[in-house]
Amino acid sequence: MQRHGLVLVARNYRVADGPRRRGGEIDLILRDRDGTLVFVEVRRRGGVSHGGAAASIGAAKRRSLMLAVQHYLLRFAAPPACRFDVVAIDGDELVWLPAAFDAT
């Protein structure tokens, strides 16, 4: 991703959802050339059975990711444009999926 002009901002950004509840984590936060913040979920699976790595990002995972994203964006007076990418690793195959999903 850095070879494509993205700049690493943070790794493994974590936020809690209360003292006893697990919150969310953003695997990678990068900034694209146009200023867009890119939040990246990295998923790894040994193979493509059960849909593979990309298919393993369900509604609950997206909700926990959005919790962390919302917390991260509080640091900006005017949040920049954002994008949600996925890096899916199935066995030895790595696939980068830009704009894999939206905030809804």
pLDDT digits (tens, 9 = 90+) for 27-86: 999 999 999 999 999 988 776 666 677 777 778 888 888 999 999 999 999 989 999 999
User: Strands across the sheet with 24-31, in order?
Assistant: 7-15, 24-31, 37-45, 82-90, 93-101
Report the half-sphere exposure of 32 (CA within 13 A, side-chain side).
14
Tally of domains in the chain: 1
Reported as a single tens digit per residue, the pLDDT across 38-48 is 999 998 877 66
Domain hosting 73: range is: 2-101
**Which CATH number belongs to the domain containing residue 87 in this structure?**
3.40.1350.10
pTM for the model stands at 0.86
Q: Which three-class secondary structure state does DSSP give residue 98?
A: strand
